[in-house]
Chain A
Amino acid sequence: SAVISQKPSRDICQRGTSLTIQCQVDSQVTMMFWYRQQPGQSLTLIATANQGSEATYESGFVIDKFPISRPNLTFSTLTVSNMSPEDSSIYLCSATPALGGEKLFFGSGTQLSVL
């Protein structure tokens, strides 16, 4: 298993600002992901955080809006840039020890509200 620490747990931000969310895993994992959960909706994958290279973004998500870093195997950050009220969501970091067929572990999430 893996324990994932995510911070901040919540934040209230002003329109036009940026917020960086940090994710730390207690053991080495192969895959790290960032999800978004909008109010009343299911989780949507934003991107896969690749160690030492650019993240792989899903359709509808772009690097300029959601820059992601993963400098090593256990740490990743997601930045929500130039925020608008539509960005108000829960953002979740997740990780899996191996590609496919394995449990996905999640951080506790970041509740973001944009005024």
Chain B
Amino acid sequence: NAGVTQTPKFQVLKTGQSMTLQCAQDMNHEYMSWYRQDPGMGLRLIHYSVGAGITDQGEVPNGYNVSRSTTEDFPLRLLSAAPSQTSVYFCASRRTGENTGELFFGEGSRLTVL
């Protein structure tokens, strides 16, 4: 009963370092997405994917890259971390073709950039 699994749960980076936040789901969901959560800002969409090999930008894509080589995995890459990327990151997925369907969220990854 794993659902959406994110790793790591906590990470501290120095400015300029790179890292990848991992997201995996075992529900065979075609739609996957990444959000960042900041105080007073709610959740903002970074990137999303409607299936393997297809990705698109959300509201705040700058500084982040994604790829979708399999249905299960949707990693988020920070190529050169900046303090403005300090945030809590959530991966979420749902079935495609159900635009009113429930988004399933991971538990989040808290990133601090010094």
Asked if A pairs with B, the answer is no
Binding site for B on A (CB under 8 A): none
Measuring CB to CB, which residues of chain B are less than 8 angstroms from any residue of chain A? none
